[in-house]
């Protein structure tokens, strides 16, 4: 049985991982580093569905450049 979103617009890291293909630990790391909006509820993290999808789109758009440490620097 699929779990519904705990709070509208927010996902657990497991739900975000299933949606994006990323590992739940990576989703937590993104939230901890402020790359996506998120907060802890007890020992679990909730992350913004919109932010996770936007991050995934940015990484897809960058393609191999996402691994270039000099991208965007002048």
38-62 confidence digits (pLDDT tens): 999 999 999 999 999 999 999 998 8
Question: Which pTM value belongs to this model?
Answer: 0.79
pLDDT at 37 over 60: yes
> Is the pLDDT higher at 41 or at 66?
41
CA-wise closest residue to 58 among 74, 35, 37: 35
Residue 72: pLDDT band (50, 70, 90) is low
Residue bearing tokens 């705990």: 6
pLDDT at 2 over 50: no
In this prediction, residue 70 carries a pLDDT of: 79
Spell out where 1-74 has E strands: 10-12, 38-41, 44-48
In this prediction, residue 48 carries a pLDDT of: 97
């Amino acid at each position: 049985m699929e779990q519904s979103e705990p709070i509208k617009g927010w996902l657990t890291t497991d739900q975000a991982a299933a949606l994006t293909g990323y590992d739940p630990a990576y989703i937590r790391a993104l939230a901890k580093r402020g790359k996506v909006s998120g907060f802890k509820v007890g020992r679990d993290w909730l992350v913004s569905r919109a932010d996770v999808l936007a991050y995934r789109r940015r990484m897809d758009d960058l393609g191999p450049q996402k691994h270039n440490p000099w991208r965007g620097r002048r």
